[in-house]
Amino acid sequence: MPIQMPPLDPDVADVAPSAPTLTDYDMEHLVTYLRLLDADAEGADWREVARIVLHLDAEREPDRARHALDSHLARAKWMTEQGYRHLLRAGNP
């Protein structure tokens, strides 16, 4: 069965999932999570990351943008600590 690649730049919800297992949303946002992890490692300004990666205007809606960024970054970090195991169990590379 061919592996389906996730979208490169999907729209995001205001809050990332917090389920203890992978969700369809997680699978759709794998690239988003990687981009957030890269931005975090580089120390990028959160407002710029929200605008570029999450498509949220931190100047107009700072609370919404910050909350969305924080929840998605937390989920991205969860993916590196726990979520990847679910990918491996599912037979995905």
**Span 55-86, pLDDT tens digits:** 999 999 999 999 999 999 999 999 999 887 87
Q: Is residue 56 one of the residues assigned to a domain?
A: yes
Segments forming the whole domain that contains residue 72: 24-89
Rounded to two decimals, what is the model's pTM?
0.86
Residue type, 44: A
Q: Is residue 15 one of the residues assigned to a domain?
A: no
Tell me, what's the pLDDT at 86? 78
Q: Is residue 42 one of the residues assigned to a domain?
A: yes
Q: Is residue 49 one of the residues assigned to a domain?
A: yes
Q: Is residue 11 one of the residues assigned to a domain?
A: no
Q: Is residue 14 one of the residues assigned to a domain?
A: no
Residue 92: pLDDT over 60? no
pLDDT digits (tens, 9 = 90+) for 9-67: 888 999 999 999 999 999 999 999 999 999 999 999 999 999 999 999 999 999 999 99
Sign of CA dihedral 34, 38, 41, 43: negative
